[in-house]
Amino acid sequence: MLPMKTFRIALTRTYLVTINAENEFKARLFSEYYLGNSPDLSDNKIRREKNFYIENIKMVYNEAQEI
């Protein structure tokens, strides 16, 4: 494996979520809470083949913008 450096990347994504809920407040709350953290979908085989490793994923912003 080649030597690796560590990089911190700010990655911004926008999702349009269709959700059924009792009211707007709960719709916002549930969409933020249950969709907030994205898992690391890489596995050991991919990491070795492409020579990378995702050390940490930390959510720093997660807010529903409009309904």
pLDDT (tens digit per residue) in 14-63: 888 899 999 999 999 888 888 877 778 889 999 999 888 888 888 888 88
Cα torsion 21, 24, 28, 29 to 10°: value is: -70
Give the residue numbers spanning the domain of 35.
17-60
pTM value? Answer: 0.65
Q: Is residue 8 part of a domain?
A: no
Q: Is residue 2 part of a domain?
A: no
Q: Is residue 36 part of a domain?
A: yes
pLDDT of residue 20: 94
How far apart are alpha carbons 54 and 31 in whole angstroms? 25
pLDDT of residue 23: 94
Q: Is residue 10 part of a domain?
A: no
pLDDT of residue 36: 72
Q: Is residue 7 part of a domain?
A: no
pLDDT of residue 12: 83
CB-based contact 67:27 (threshold 8 Å): yes
- Domain count for the chain, please give it: 1
Q: Is residue 52 part of a domain?
A: yes
Q: Is residue 33 part of a domain?
A: yes
Q: Is residue 11 part of a domain?
A: no
